[in-house]
Amino acid sequence: MSNVKERVGTGVGVTLILLWCLLPVAWIVSLSFKSQEAVTNGSPGFFPASGAGAGFDNYKQVLQDDAFLLAIRNSIVVSLSATILSVALATLAAYAIARLEFRGKKFVLTTALVIAMFPVVSLVGPLFDMWRTVGLYDTWWGLMIPYISFTLPLAIWTLSAFFREIPWEMEQAAQVDGATPWQAFRKVIVPLAAPGVFTAAILTFFFAWNDFVFGISLTSTERARPIPAALSFFVGADPFNRPASLLAAAAVVATIPIVVLVLFFQRKIVAGLTAGAVKG
Amino acid sequence: MTRPARARRAVAAAASAVLACSVLTACGGGDSGPATLNWYINPDGQDTLNALAKSCSTDEYTIKINLLPSSATDQRTQLARRLAAKDSSTDLMSLDPVFVPEFANAKWLLPFKGDLAGKVLDDDVLKGIAETVQWDDQVVAAPQWANTQVLWYRKSLAEAAGLDMTKPVTWDQVIDAASENDGTVGVQANKYEAYVVWINSLIQGAGGNILDPSTVESGRDAKVTISSQAGEDAAAVIRKLARSKAAQPDFTTSNEGTSLGQMYPAQGAGEFMTNWTFVYKNYEGLLGKPGGPKDKAELEDLGFTRYPQTVAGQESKPPVGGIDIGVGAYSKHPDLAQQAAICVTDAKAQSALAVNEGLMPSRQSVYDSDELKKAYPPALLTLWRESVDSGGPRPKSAFYSQISSAIQSRWHSPTSVGPGTPKRSASFLEDILSGKALL
Amino acid sequence: MTTTEARPTSHKPSKPPKAPDSDRSRSENRLALKLVALPLALMLLVTAFPMLRALYLSLFDYSLTAPDDRTFIGLSNYVTALTDGLFWRDTLITVFIMVVTVSFELVIGFAFAMVMHKVIFARGVIRTSILIPYGVITVVSGFAWQFAFSNTNGFVNSWLPFIDTDFNWFAEQGSSLVAIMASEIWKTTPFMSLLLLAGLAQVSEDMIEAAKVDGATWFQRLYKVILPNMRAAIMVAVLFRALDAYRIFDNIFVMTAGANNTESISFLTYRQVIEQFQLGIGSALSVLLFLSVLVVAAVIVKLFRVDLADARQG
């Protein structure tokens, strides 16, 4: 009896979760199929009214928009490079933290924690001032450097949590066989740590892809402007109104990489998200 | 990738890439081919501006168009940030006239000197517009087009209300006429620049000013005069519309685009709307389409007249705007850029902008040209030229963007505007100008 | 920061016994320092150095549009900021948003976690869907909700029976904040629920079963067994989300740009620095923003620490 009740309850709960997560996504997809004319004149409702549909016109237009294509390029280059560099650096630090005893460990961890809590907006002013003097303003590196710094804490935690699960006896065995700590690290641990590294990379990529504060403050042209900033400046045929449906199409395009990553790696992402935060 | 040696090499490579980058930007464009001039444009009239960029390019230089965001505030932010970073790739920029003083004061604009200055500002340029491009007795930008607002309306609606549109009308009359006849009044009252445009015109229409015009150019020491009878008159108009049935549903977030659809609504009698010159071409282009006039007869029902009066009997001061072309002070090709600026603002260019995009000329001769007379009803051309000529500029101050933000912060939301508003905004504006308050 | 103890580093069961040989420990120390040097330097370059610079610039009246007029004015910028109503109003709004969103997220996220903990079918599907809001760009979420609440193109007005179809959500403070918080809550609840799910997984089933046998009601089991045993997880989740919410910026930028008193403290700082180019007062606000984040963190840690101590005694 209570079992049936519980099952019904769980079923309802699952439905609610799915609605919660997917309804707004469905909405933005639906909006992207409304025609721009209909949107300018007002077309309330979840689905495009009959005759107010645009087919794939908005997508075609978005994918022919140079500014948006360049933003996609910038976002991909900057996010991927920042991810690779950040994870590479974090791997080193996480290994040291998980495996080695050293003075200053607490300092590293505290720094990482403080940075994770850091209000990024309080940095954009001085960073802008610094970047404009050294010529990093409106460049890929000007974005990559802050992305790396701000994803390092997340990557370090996630990785050190993963590293602690690795059977280190194997490393010890290697060391007994005469390998230096460094060789043991490279030959034995790296292959074992790869899944964790991969997870950290996905989370880092999400951060970089999502960033908005640096994206609008440290860029000013298509040369380096990433997708979120480009979206906020999106201009349609009518310069006075945000082209809602066009923007929706662009937003859907920008979300596709995320959905793909989530579809393929959901298990890893969840493990990574919770590993860094809860064990302890 | 996890080897520190490799990581170190990557960082070194990164560092050298950064270095190479900045060296490149410092001396880029120095090859044998034609120089590239970057022109930052605002999104109005993109097609014609692209064509202009092409036709004005020569063997010596190619003009490359870069698009700025759509709001005036964002445009200023983007440009100012580049110039504060002493960016040498900002050659040409389309500037809202209100930001010219700030940019000129920061020495971000390269003044036109000698013959060039004479070419930019000859007698043909409308007086009110010529005023906007001068700072410290120098010509700091070239006027490209002039904008102004008029009152657009449905003739049938005015008729139903028994309003005689051949004579100047007041805001009171317009709001009453709309609310009593199932119509609406379209304005710009979102928290943004165009709301200040409206407020400024209302105040000037009542004979006042936000800042005292004789001290406005002294920056922080300007005298604040918004707390006056004229300020109160302006507040009364906003308050009246806010409380009227004629206010549109998105009144407090309305912009130049939101009220366009209310002229030919599915239900209702249409609207009175104060809006810029692009409106005419807009409805012409929407003939038979949703949001536009059903047929020729409905298009002909679109009326236009002088901007409404704040106070009955006192001549209105229509808003003026437009675009001036500035040349970046750090440009690598200053001479070429100034040459290009003159090309994209000459009579031919202005005529093309007017005919194709509805962006009106800043030169008298272009208003008189046959192309324009063919494209627009002569009465409308006259109305526009007169409006530009007798319009009221916004405060010409190097601190304009702060002044504008200060006004926005005290006058928005329009539903909260009342008798105390001018006074409150005056003391706030004084604090802002003296650096004693946060914006 | 005492919170590091919440991190996994505080105990390492798999740690091999320390080598007695001090050469070895010295070489270990050296290797470790080499490994952490670069990441640490990078983190400090982008945070500590600019922060110190902000501290310095905050003592000047310095505007980028008039760079020659830079003058030293001591602490005047701080006085201006701290005596300004706007600063306190925006702080209040930020705290309000933080408290409301985190409370909603905690309750909804916990409910989601309970469901996910129980569910035995379609786990992959649920996990995938719950990660989508987490992954969606905040700006996109802001747009989606802005358009959803729009009275010209949205659907919310027609779906909510007690709302007029013409109602403009972005016309006043209260309803604008509702829209902003909806976007914020939608996007971040999944993260919360995943953290809580992990915490829930650590509560021993035996204890719950035992409580059940003792005749404890569902409610009693929740309060007496489940919640106390996942305090650590809740604390981490709340701390992280609260600090994140306190920094709210993207949604406000996209949805209202601060109109109708919906400005957060981050947005205020951004406007001074990036829009007004007032590096002096902007830097002062940056410093104050940083300090206020530390205060929020300290308050949360303190609150939960007391609880944890009580739990241990009880």
pLDDT in tens, chain B (439 residues): 334 444 444 444 444 444 444 433 443 444 457 899 999 998 888 899 999 999 999 999 999 998 888 888 888 988 998 898 888 889 999 999 999 999 999 999 999 998 999 999 998 999 888 988 999 899 999 999 999 999 999 999 999 999 999 999 999 999 999 999 999 999 999 988 999 999 999 999 999 999 999 998 888 889 999 999 999 999 999 999 999 999 998 899 899 888 898 999 988 899 999 999 989 988 988 888 878 899 999 999 999 999 999 999 999 999 999 999 999 999 999 999 999 999 999 999 999 999 988 899 999 999 999 999 999 999 999 999 999 988 888 999 988 988 999 999 899 989 999 999 999 999 999 998 888 888 8
Nearest-CA distance A206 → chain B (Å): 20
B321 phi, psi to nearest 5 deg = -150, -145
Q: What is the pLDDT of residue C142?
A: 94
Residues of C in contact with A97 (CB under 8 A): 9, 36
- C17 at interface of A, judged by CB pairs closer than 8 A: no
Q: What does DSSP say about strands C71-72 and C60-61: parallel, antiparallel, or unpaired?
A: antiparallel
Residues spanned by the domain of A117: 65-233
Asked if residue B216 is part of any domain, the answer here is yes
- Between CA A110 and CA B108 the distance in angstroms is 44
C81-92 mean pLDDT = 93
Residues of C in Cβ contact (< 8 Å) with B84: 64-65, 277
Give residue B415's domain range. 150-317+399-433
Which structure tokens are listed for A255?
């979300």
The angle formed by the CA atoms of residues A215, B72 and A39, to the nearest 5 degrees, is: 80
Rounded Cα–Cα distance for residues B413 and B239 (Å): 11
Residues B283 and B406 in one domain: yes
Q: What is the mean pLDDT of residues C207-229?
A: 86
Q: Which tokens sit at C236?
A: 């981490």
The answer to whether B285 contacts chain A (CB < 8 Å) is no
Are B229 and B181 part of one and the same domain?
yes
Looking at the domain assignment, is residue B26 inside a domain? no
CB–CB of B253 and C259 under 8 A?
yes
R_g of chain A, CA atoms, integer Å: 23
DSSP H helices in B149-247: 155-161, 171-180, 193-205, 229-242
B235 and B326 housed in the same domain:
no
| Helix axes of C231-246 and C173-201: crossing angle, nearest 10 degrees | 150
Total domains in the fold of chain B:
2
Q: Using the structure block, give the residue that is written with the tokens 């690779």.
A: A84
Cα distance between residue C64 and residue B103, in whole Å:
11
Residue percentage of chain A with pLDDT more than 70:
95
| Any domain includes B272 | yes
Q: What is the pLDDT of residue A237?
A: 65
Taking alpha carbons only, the member of A273, A25, A259 closest to residue C193 is A273
Q: Do the domain assignments include residue A137? A: yes
CA distance B250 to chain C (A): 6
C151 versus B200: the higher-pLDDT residue is B200
Query: Which tokens sit at B30?
Result: 């120095």
> How far off is chain B from A15, nearest CA to CA, in Å?
35
**Nearest-CA distance from C276 to chain A in Å?**
11
C84–B250: do the CB atoms touch at under 8 Å? no
pLDDT of B242 reads 96
Is B15 part of the contact surface with chain A (CB cutoff 8 Å)? no
Query: Would residue A120 count as lying in a domain?
Result: yes
Q: What is the pLDDT of residue C305?
A: 65
Check whether residue B42 and residue B61 sit in a common domain. Answer: yes
User: How distant is the Cα of A6 from the closest Cα of chain C, in angstroms?
Assistant: 9
Residues B71 and B184 in one domain: no
Cα B307 from chain centre: 16
Q: Which residue of B has its CA nearest to C164?
A: B249
Judge whether A172 lies within some domain. Answer: yes
Q: Are residues B134 and B155 in the same domain?
A: no
pLDDT in tens, B236-287: 999 999 999 999 988 998 998 888 989 999 888 999 999 999 899 889 888 8
Average pLDDT of the residues of chain C? 85
DSSP, res C165: T
Residues B416 and B308 in one domain: yes
Q: Which residue in A has a C-alpha nearest to residue C158's C-alpha?
A: A45
* Subunit contact A235:B70, Cβ cutoff 8 A: yes
Residue A43: inside a domain, yes or no? Answer: no
Residues B154-177 have pLDDT tens digits of: 999 999 999 999 999 999 999 999
In a domain, A182, yes or no: yes
Q: Are B106 and C67 inside 8 Å of each other by CB?
A: yes
Please check whether residue A201 lies inside any domain of the structure. Answer: yes
Q: What is the pLDDT of residue A236?
A: 67
CB–CB of A211/A202 below 8 Å? no
B15 occurs within a structural domain: no
Please give the share of chain C, as a percent, with pLDDT higher than 90: 39
Q: Which residues of C touch B106 (CB under 8 A)?
A: 64-67
A84–chain B Cβ distance below 8 A for any pair? yes
Domains in chain C: boundaries: 22-53, 58-139+175-313
Number of domains in chain A: 1
Q: Which residues of C touch A19 (CB under 8 A)?
A: none
CATH of residue B271's domain is 3.40.190.10
- CB-based contact A54:C153 (threshold 8 Å): no
Is A184 a member of any domain?
Answer: yes
Chain B hits for C272, Cβ within 8 Å? 438-439
Q: What residues of C are in contact with residue A262 (Cβ under 8 Å)? A: 128, 131-132, 135
Q: Calculate mean pLDDT across residues C222-229.
A: 85
Write down the pLDDT at residue B248. 93
Q: What is the CATH number of the domain that holds A149?
A: 1.10.3720.10
Question: What pLDDT, on the 0 to 100 scale, is given for residue A239?
Answer: 62
**Preferred mutation among C98, C147, C218, C249 to probe A, highest tally of A CBs within 10 A:** C147
Tell me which residue in A89, A266, A274 faces C131 most closely, judged by beta carbons. A266
Residue A23 confidence (pLDDT): 94
pLDDT band at A226 (very low <50, low <70, confident <90, very high): very high
CB distance A235–B291 less than 8 Å? no
Question: C108-131, pLDDT tens digit by residue?
Answer: 999 999 898 888 777 888 888 988
Cβ-defined contact of A128 to B261 (cutoff 8 Å): no
Provide the shortest C-alpha distance from residue B242 to chain C (in Å): 12
**Number of neighbours of residue B179 by Cβ within 10 angstroms:** 19
Rounded to whole angstroms, how far apart are CA atoms C24 and C27? 5
With a cut of 90, say whether residue C312 has pLDDT above it: no
The enclosing H or E element of B274 equals strand B271-275
Collect all residues with Cβ–Cβ distance below 8 Å to A43 and sequence separation of at least 6. Answer: A34, A49, A52, C152, C153
Which residue in chain B is spatially nearest to A68 when comparing CA positions? Answer: B67
Place of tokens 């926005």: B408
Query: What is the least distance, in Å, from the CA of A3 to any CA of chain B?
Result: 51
Domain C58-139+175-313 has CATH 1.10.3720.10: yes
Q: Which residue of C has its CA nearest to B71?
A: C257
| Number of CB pairs, chain B paired with chain C, less than 8 A apart | 81
Query: Which residue among A148, A212, A266 places its CB closest to the CB of C127?
Result: A266
Is the ipTM reported for this complex over the cut 0.90?
no
pLDDT for C11: 42
Q: Is residue C2 scored above 70 in pLDDT?
A: no
Closest to B388 measured CA to CA, from B365, B363, B369: B363
Is residue A160 in some structural domain? yes
Same domain assignment for residues B239 and B343: no
User: Best mutation site among A58, A121, A258 for testing chain C: the one with the most C CBs within 10 Å?
Assistant: A121
Q: For residues C33 and C26, what is the distance between their CA atoms, to the nearest angstrom?
A: 11
- For residue B305, the tally of other CB atoms under 10 A from its CB is 18
Residues B212 and B355 in one domain: no
- For range A51-58, the mean pLDDT: 84
> Touching check for A172 and chain B: CB below 8 Å?
no
